[in-house]
Structure 1
Amino acid sequence: MTSCEDFLSENVRGVISPNNFYNSDQEAIQAANGLYLGMSSGNLYDNWQGISAYTYFGTDEVMPNRLFGGLAPIMDYNLTETNYGNAYGIWQNLYAVVGDANSVIANVRENQKLSESIRNRVLGESYFLRALAYYHLTALWGDVPFYLEELPLDEVSNLGRSNVTEIRTKMIADLKTAEGLLPGSYSGPDIGHASKWAAKFLRARYHLWQKDWAAALDASKDIIDNSPHKLMPTYGSVFDVNNQFNDEAIFGFDFLKGVDAQVITDSFNPRLRDEPKVSSQRSAFAQALSERGEEFNGYGLAVPINDLIEKYPKDDLRYPWNIMDSYLGYDLRYSYFKKRTNFDFVESPRGNHGEWWITMRLAQVYLMAAEAANELGNTADAYQYVNRVRERAYSPAQPLSGLSQTQLRKALQDEYKWELAGESERRYDLIRWGILVETIKNTDFGIHKGNENIQPHMVKLPIPAEEIVLNPNLLESDPTNNGYR
């Protein structure tokens, strides 16, 4: 139905009028592929200053190892309407996905030129990706403009902000619809597209934001009990670059060699000029890397923050995959997230390599189930789920037990940190738990000043000043612009 090259290389928006498109299954698939491309390009998932800058930078997990202009506003928490890195680009790109998804849905929903199976799949993918766009919009800005139909530009540009709960409730309903439309798995060239389990994963995340613990637990249990996904036997095997579409991975973005010079992984790869710790050993170190067909070939910006290094349990088998402070016998100047690195200089991140960037995996589902069960007072179930994740993290096993609900809540918040460091949505979690400000104030930010500058209103971003100039209605429901005025 589609090839790997088509998956993230088709974007028909603005090229062909919808009136002359959507005449075949292949054209509908191309339209859906364009949505993936929109979500994985620009300021979103292909850019380490995109979504990632506002999910794990500015937290107790990840920091840039040097002062860097694009990341400074979030690390230093000195955000303003005009000083926020590339948040304006994120806003624009997310709404581009929303608009494109609305168009695909409108043109596919009743289209009898398409086979039922393709019509259902394309609709399911469109609902999912639109819900993912609104997920980030609401997590970053709270109340935002909200529309689900094809609208003229002049109408879109005059929309005010809708209530965040209303938006999330509607997206939950759409994701339930998507689950009924999407297949449970893919094979061949279609691997990597959103499945019903990816839609259910995202719905569980929405339920956690809404504190609908029962619904979050039900969705998570369904994935655990009925999906084809399984925990990999070891933590490191989850991140094997030769087995990226593994049993644990539920969803991610498939960056293809030869399509675009992607840079997201580049931020996690060390750069040779920074390493090793003893600079006189650099030539020998470079030679040792070369003999393995490797090089330190990235920007080296995304490194574990001191707080993570100091507090990470040293007997945890996940530790060396999250805190790499030496390589090939050489001590490194900085620590790195080994699980996010790729030193192959033939398939270099800086040299345009292909890679599947995992954004949803089964271990997180177990932690979501444990969190929801604990909030419901079902501590026995909560232990069952979190200890499945901890089984592969310790030898001999160190299962959690005998904790109060409050103690278990704190233990689970830490478990999210140890399991998902540098790969998930730590800042979002800290916000929805209501502990972002206190956590940042108590985190060693090194050369950065976020722990000194953060204020309670900074759990949300300000709507970009450029958007307010174009659409003053954005201030109608909140003249303070999330507290920044």
Structure 2
Amino acid sequence: MKQLLKKTIYIGLSGLILCSTSCKREFLEPKPLSFYTPEETFSSADGLWATLVACERNMRIETHGDGAPIVTETIYSDIAVSGSTDKPGPAIDLNLVITPDGNLDNIEFENRIGWYWREGYRAIRYANTAITYIDLPQDYASEEERNQLLGSAYFYRAYRYYRLTQQFGDIPLILEEPQGPKLDFYSTKREVILRKMKEDLEFAQEWVPDGGVKGRVTKGAVSHLLTKVNLALGLFDDAIQSATNVINGGTYALMTERFGAYVNDATRNVIWDLHRPENKSLASNREALMLVIDRINIDGNVSGGTRSMRNALPNWGNTGNVTPAGNRATSDQPGAEIDQVTAYGRGIARVRPVWHTQKEIWTDGTDLRHAPGNWMDMEDLVYNAPSLKGKDPYYGKPLQYRNDRGTILTNDTIRNWFSWPHYKLYVEDPQRVTPDGGNSDWYVFRLAETYLLRAEAYFWKGDLASAAADINAVRNRAQATPITAAEVNMATILDERTRELYYEEPRKSELTRIAYIFALTGKVAENGKTYSLETFSRDNYFYDRVMAVSDFYNKGVRTNFGVPYTMSPYHVLWPVPIGAINSNTQGVINQNEGYSGFENNVPPLTEIIEDGHARAAAE
């Protein structure tokens, strides 16, 4: 019975949501023919490797599918907002909608906070299974294989704990597979969790190799994640070293020359090559540290591809755009004489970049990331509705935002009109009549980010010359003008991350991590302010950065339904789902400040004891 419970009841903290104290006892009783024994399942190395395949799938579905969770990470940050103005549901008014007992996992509302909690702990469960039974198989090819598998499991667990601690702060720490149902979780201090993850990643860095099967953990990915953990802990020298291990390790390099499927297309450039689905997992692509693999008919693929164009392009092909003559302007139907939907894809603007992302950061006219063919402005589209031909003189001419009288020619300036990085979001979609983003491998970690992480570590240490050199390594590849040491501050680094990593990085998590470091160090930000951990949820760099660059949140902007874009400082951390708190009847999972239930918190656990659990320092 005990072994059955390990499989059917414990599913991370999502188990606390699914089974409250009202569960009847017979629900817990084993049924014949349903026994699960690790001695059989994990008696071979292949059995344990299979548990990590589940971790790989868990990682893939963050960036793939309609309303992919990465949308939430993007729009609840400084670089974008929700463009779903056609209905009142999406979490646009964050002050009203993001609550512990609200709908925290709804694709149509573009709120996947609950997904991150549930799937984060589900992935931790998968990794803990491999860790718990690591010495059960007797058929390892060598001690090296055993340690590689263990190091890979450590990576997946650390990846999720890193993300969860940036999203939710202090959370329960689970380091082994429980031997039965558990309802006595307590929150553990964020720094304690991260120190344990650092220890595990340092082991993994030694044993996980580079190369091998695409989609598996690499040494480069381990060191990259370790760099983020080191930064989050304020260990800047360690962060520089772990990043340098990747940059100078001889395996990886920024892609500066043309390569892959489009190498003979003179109209394209290396930025285009880098983000082509066909090129991401090529052996010649030395920039990819960690990938998720997504192909048509791949096992466990239920996302239907990236849906990247649907998620992040404007709703350009609807009836809301008209020509200066007053006729319907654009058509997103394939096969038209001017077929724009096949060339660019169809979007519904789940992600709508702010003005800063679209325009303000692109002052350098030589930057390949913003070059024609890579970057799309609305004026690059033309009036292509078939009904216009022969009737409207604007047929085939570029779209206009206003007519000669100054009248705006779209009925929704939020959803229907904005710029986007075509090179990154365009994914051919042969399985759909109207393409919105087909199957594609996707970067989890890429060397360009490693350079920007090391630049950040140098910034925290005050070595602005070294920070500028690392930023310029990324800018030089894009043929952008180098910056000087005097120009380096956190805003500079964040702007470069926007140019390089838009819709690729989990922006909310990374911005919260940076806000933590400002509070930890007391370093003066570019806005002249200092911050502290004591007032983190009331006054933080995350909120101030969003207010500085967003032209939506708290600016009086409303959707067509009259919904205002609002945000508060406490949104630096997300609410812990109320179901997880209420189901945990024998312990206390803390709520974050600013949300209902915070008043019931108890001091978080601060030490890890020998059996792998955390405890309070006074115990």
TM-score (normalizing by structure 2): 0.67
Quick one: which amino acid aligns to residue 64 of structure 2? D
Determine which of 154, 167, 172 is the counterpart of 1:127. Answer: 154
Matched, 1:36 2:53: no
Matched, 1:247 2:330: no
Q: State the distance in 1 between where 2:137 and 2:244 align.
A: 35
Cross-structure match for 1:338? 422
Quick one: which amino acid aligns to residue 277 of structure 2? V
Cross-structure match for 1:87? 113
User: Matches of residues 224-239 of structure 1 in structure 2 within 5 Å?
Assistant: 224-233=247-256, 234-239=270-275
Q: Is the 8 A contact 1:289 1:295 kept in 2?
A: no
Q: State the distance in 1 between where 2:318 and 2:418 align.
A: 8
Deviation larger for 19-28 or 277-286:
277-286
Cross-structure match for 1:458? 571
Determine which of 356, 365, 368 is the counterpart of 2:453. Answer: 368
> Which structure has more helix as a fraction of its residues?
1
Q: Provide, for residues 279-336 of structure 1, a one-character-per-residue CA deviation record: whole Å limited to 9, x for no partner.
A: 3342798525659965724544223222312312242332244554355655484423
Q: Provide, for residues 53-104 of structure 1, a one-character-per-residue CA deviation record: whole Å limited to 9, x for no partner.
A: 4421122222232237798336634311122333223211111111121111
In structure 1, the gaps of 5 or more residues are: 1-13
**TM-fit CA distance, 1:209:** 1.4
Determine which of 282, 291, 294 is the counterpart of 2:331. Answer: 282
Quick one: which amino acid aligns to residue 465 of structure 2? A
Q: Secondary structure at the match of 1:358?
A: strand
**TM-fit CA distance, 1:16:** 5.6
Determine which of 218, 241, 244 is the counterpart of 1:218. Answer: 241
Quick one: which amino acid aligns to residue 244 of structure 1? K
Q: State the distance in 2 between where 1:77 and 1:418 align.
A: 29
Matched, 1:200 2:223: yes
Q: State the distance in 2 between where 1:403 and 1:205 align.
A: 25
Cross-structure match for 1:311? 360
Q: State the distance in 1 between where 2:76 and 2:509 align.
A: 11
Q: Is the 8 A contact 1:294 1:345 kept in 2?
A: no
User: Matches of residues 246-265 of structure 1 in structure 2 within 5 Å?
Assistant: 246-258=285-297, 259-260=301-302, 261-265=304-308
Quick one: which amino acid aligns to residue 181 of structure 2? D
Quick one: which amino acid aligns to residue 430 of structure 2? V
Q: Is the 8 A contact 1:125 1:178 kept in 2?
A: yes
Distance 1:290 1:281, change over 3 A: closer
Distance 1:210 1:49, change over 3 A: farther
Quick one: which amino acid aligns to residue 218 of structure 1? Q
Q: Secondary structure at the match of 1:250?
A: strand
Q: Secondary structure at the match of 1:355?
A: coil
Q: Is the 8 A contact 1:253 1:356 kept in 2?
A: yes
Cross-structure match for 2:350? 301
Cross-structure match for 2:192? 166
Distance 1:70 1:20, change over 3 A: farther
Percent pairwise identity: 21
Q: State the distance in 1 between where 2:214 and 2:421 align.
A: 26
**TM-fit CA distance, 1:269:** 5.1
Matched, 1:325 2:378: yes
Q: Is the 8 A contact 2:314 2:352 kept in 1?
A: no
Cross-structure match for 1:444? 551
In structure 2, the gaps of 5 or more residues are: 1-33, 105-110, 257-269, 323-327, 383-397, 400-415, 516-540, 597-619
**TM-fit CA distance, 1:408:** 3.1
**TM-fit CA distance, 1:219:** 0.9
Distance 1:466 1:257, change over 3 A: same
Q: State the distance in 2 between where 1:333 and 1:286 align.
A: 23
**TM-fit CA distance, 1:51:** 3.8
Q: Secondary structure at the match of 1:282?
A: coil
Cross-structure match for 1:433? 514
Q: Secondary structure at the match of 1:354?
A: coil
Q: Provide, for residues 399-449 of structure 1, a one-character-per-residue CA deviation record: whole Å limited to 9, x for no partner.
A: 222517xx5333222222222222213222322332211122231125469
> RMSD over aligned Cα, in angstroms?
3.2
Q: State the distance in 2 between where 1:339 and 1:114 align.
A: 43
**TM-fit CA distance, 1:244:** 1.4
Cross-structure match for 1:63? 81
Q: Provide, for residues 127-179 of structure 1, a one-character-per-residue CA deviation record: whole Å limited to 9, x for no partner.
A: 11111111111111111010111113423x32110010000000011111112
Q: State the distance in 2 between where 1:286 and 1:341 align.
A: 21
Q: State the distance in 2 between where 1:114 and 1:71 align.
A: 52
Distance 1:161 1:212, change over 3 A: same
TM-score (normalizing by structure 1): 0.84
Q: State the distance in 2 between where 1:69 and 1:177 align.
A: 49
Matched, 1:399 2:501: no
User: Matches of residues 118-197 of structure 1 in structure 2 within 5 Å?
Assistant: 118-155=145-182, 157-186=183-212, 190-197=213-220
Matched, 1:413 2:466: no
Q: State the distance in 1 between where 2:119 and 2:343 align.
A: 34
Q: Secondary structure at the match of 2:289?
A: strand
Cross-structure match for 2:64? 46
Determine which of 209, 221, 225 is the counterpart of 2:232. Answer: 209
Deviation larger for 169-178 or 373-382:
373-382
Q: State the distance in 2 between where 1:269 and 1:21 align.
A: 45
Q: State the distance in 1 between where 2:354 and 2:278 align.
A: 28
Distance 1:351 1:389, change over 3 A: closer
How many residues get paired? 460
**TM-fit CA distance, 1:203:** 0.8
Matched, 1:267 2:332: no
Cross-structure match for 1:4? none
Cross-structure match for 1:10? none
Q: State the distance in 2 between where 1:204 and 1:218 align.
A: 8
Distance 1:399 1:293, change over 3 A: closer
Deviation larger for 315-324 or 218-227:
315-324
Cross-structure match for 2:126? 100
Cross-structure match for 1:11? none
Distance 1:72 1:353, change over 3 A: closer
Quick one: which amino acid aligns to residue 424 of structure 2? R
Distance 1:183 1:215, change over 3 A: same
